[in-house]
Amino acid sequence: MASSQKNAESNGQEQLFAEVQGGGASFVMLVQLLFALVLVFGGFYVFSLAFSHPEQGIELFVGGLLAVTIGFITAFTSRTK
């Protein structure tokens, strides 16, 4: 019984660390990642501007927050088949 359990565990580990078939990242995934990074870091920059421009502070902060949110959504929900 111990050997059958050991074989089942080793099969599970082999599946966990199996090589991915089908190649690496595609050009579309790279573009999506770059787009998400630009949105996230650009959003950080925009909502940091809100503190130095008090007359448009709310608009800048909300715009930056929206850009960061869209960037994170793009990064975590983009899938290619």
On whether the CB atoms of residues 43 and 71 are closer than 8 A, the answer is: yes
Average pLDDT score, the chain: 80
Q: Give me the residues of the chain with pLDDT under 70, please.
A: 1-25, 78-81
Half-sphere exposure of 73 toward its Cβ, with a 13 Å CA cutoff? 6
Q: What percent of the chain has pLDDT over 70?
A: 64
pTM here is 0.64
Joined tokens for residue 70: 């869209």
DSSP state of 21: S
Torsion on CA atoms 46, 67, 41, 51, rounded to nearest 10: 20
Token duo for residue 24: 């690496």
